[in-house]
Amino acid sequence: MKRLILLLTIFSISHAAFSQEKETSNKKEIKQILTTFMDCLIKKDSVKFYSLFHNEPTVWVGVFKEKTQQNRLSKDSTKKGNFTSTYQKFFRSIFDTGAYEEKFYNLNIDEDGSIASATFDYSYWKDKKKINWGKESWGLVKIDGHWKIMSIIFSVEFESINPEPIKK
């Protein structure tokens, strides 16, 4: 009986350790996708950037935060509070003159091995000047052993309208 309990205990511990290792591996892979995404903006590498996304239509939605939207409305009362795009259009927009970078922090990843969500704070920079900041959320799926981005939704606050609070 003692041997059976010992074997069951060892099995339980090794199973729990394996499960945590797999979760850590998935989170590490997802963190690498975020790092690659940011690196592709700096290097303007469209081939690698496009490979991060699922080949089906993806969701790309930005929503203006209240202070930025109020400022936009003061100049044009017909301005919508959100916009949609595609990752291809976004990437093409950074090919004008200038250096672009996105920084992320306060990353939280929730995944079950097949689907994942990654939420984080971000700031978007052009020529070393912060343009906007907000919260970003990605939906990811694991297809044929590879994580792919299915959706990106984010809030937008213009730094010139409402500077990002200093993080402690």
Percent of the chain past pLDDT 70, that is, above it, reads: 85
DSSP structure class, residue 132: E
Is 17 part of a structural domain of the chain? yes
The verdict on residue 165 lying in a domain is no
CA distance 152 to 119: 10
Residue 43: inside a domain:
yes
Q: Which among 161, 98, 100, 97 has a CA at the least distance from the CA of 134?
A: 161
166 is a domain residue: no
Q: What is the pLDDT of residues 9-54, one digit of tens each?
A: 344 444 444 444 444 699 999 999 999 999 999 999 999 999 999 9
Give dist(CA 90, CA 73) in Å, integer.
23
Residue 103 within any structural domain of the chain? yes
Question: What is the C-alpha to C-alpha distance for residues 77 and 3, in angstroms, rounded to an integer?
Answer: 76
Show the domain range for 49: 2-158
163: amino acid identity, one letter: P
Is 62 domain-assigned? yes
Q: What is the CATH number of the domain that holds 46?
A: 3.10.450.50
- Comparing 56-60, 91-95, 130-134, 143-147, the range with the smallest average pLDDT is 91-95
What DSSP line would sit under 73-96, residue for residue?
A: HHH-TT--SEEE--HHHHHHHTTS
Closest C-alpha among 95, 92, 98, 96 to residue 129: 98
In a domain, 167, yes or no: no
How many distinct structural domains can be found in the chain? 1
Is residue 168 in a domain? no
